[in-house]
Structure 1
Amino acid sequence: MNNLEILEKAIGYDFKDKKLLIQALTHPSVCEKVDSRDFLGDYQRLEFLGDAVLQLVLSHKLYLMFPEFPEGRLTVTRTELVKRKTLAKLGKDLNLGSFLVLGHGAEKSGGRIRDSIISDAFEAIIGAIFLDGGYRAVKKCILSLFDKLIHESANSSSEVNPKGALQEILQAESQVPPEYSIVNIHGPEHDRTFECVVKHMGIELGRGSGKRKKEAETQAALVALQNIRKSKKL
């Protein structure tokens, strides 16, 4: 059994076109050192595709699994499943780092254990499976790989923390925390509604409202999480 077969067994999918799997494992740093005529390409385009496929499959699963969840709660749960830390953990469980094709610089800087590279390659593999076997095949793989995490979400008794989830996503890119501010108060004193804006480094991420300040902040965080996933800016 060669290295690719070992990885395929761990993933639970046998590629018809092995070149797709090789491409999904190839870091962009490699392209600087190879003859372009023989180069299959790096994983960046497959990563783009895999991200979208993951979003679709997991969104559908969560929609069916949690009929009582409103849109915001579904968004937060999905965000937890597809964040970098989660994907890197799944990739490390597959021993993905040992199969990566890295350039000298990425190899020397510890690329085989770096969360950002492993999570990118994980998404690229999902994209490669989709191209090689279609939606049914990739859906089967995703649900198998995420089965434990999805059921942990279903069985968790604790409430999802939108503000905590937002801060974790933002601080993966920057140490600057989000800022919440009440920008409007509507209604009579006995029945007020607070409007909150959450910003990061001066950029507005979302707005929310509620009967209490904390509720307004939570709603603003939920909207921000939705906007982040839609824009993919962070």
Structure 2
Amino acid sequence: MSPALFVAGAHTDVGKTFCACALIHAARVRGFAVDALKPVVSGFDPGDWSQSDPGRLLTALGRPLTDRTLDAISPLRFRAPLSPPMAARLERRTLSLAQLEAFCRAGLAHSAADLVLVEGVGGVMSPIAEDATGLDLMVTLGLPCLLVGGSYLGAISHTLTALETLRSRAVPVTALVISQDADPAAPDFRETVASIAAFAGETPVLAAPRGEPQSWPSLVLR
């Protein structure tokens, strides 16, 4: 099985896909073969999905945006911008941890890549199936985690809470990436990163500022 990393968020819309794409680009530049899985996605528009999470992952991987490539990385797709089990219920579909686990394990087993990224949804404790949170899927798969946090007001608490939650279930956290918030009124980015690092213990805390070349993926890929 290829080496794999689970990309998880401390909250919703903190930049999980942005960070996953940055890792993919950095790995490909180094000559590594990369695969990505986004087992479930909600808020998905089948008529215009190029900028959806799976669409952006496929673009980063250098693959065409076709139904075939979409099914290969993100087979469970729902229209409503809600948690996946809530969105699935609206379509009278069921979504279970067993489904997600089976897809991820098959993808990991069949991949010959140097690195496989598995991207979750929402935050660490967001429901990802009727019977599971994102954390449950991480534990089931036994993968180390790249935790992505934000820099909005309240992000320090959300990020450190997510980190402690992962540690409580013995999920190895490879690194914590803090993505800069787009709101100019957000707290100072560098101070936010420093504050999180002060309480993160031995977990590396890396900054991902907007509008600047991203150097942090190289540190994760070492």
Could you say whether these structures have the same fold, taking a TM-score greater than 0.5 normalized by the shorter chain as the test?
Answer: no
* Structure ranking higher in helix proportion: 1
Superposition TM-score, scaled by structure 2 size: 0.25
Structure number with larger C-alpha Rg: 1
* Structure ranking higher in strand proportion: 2
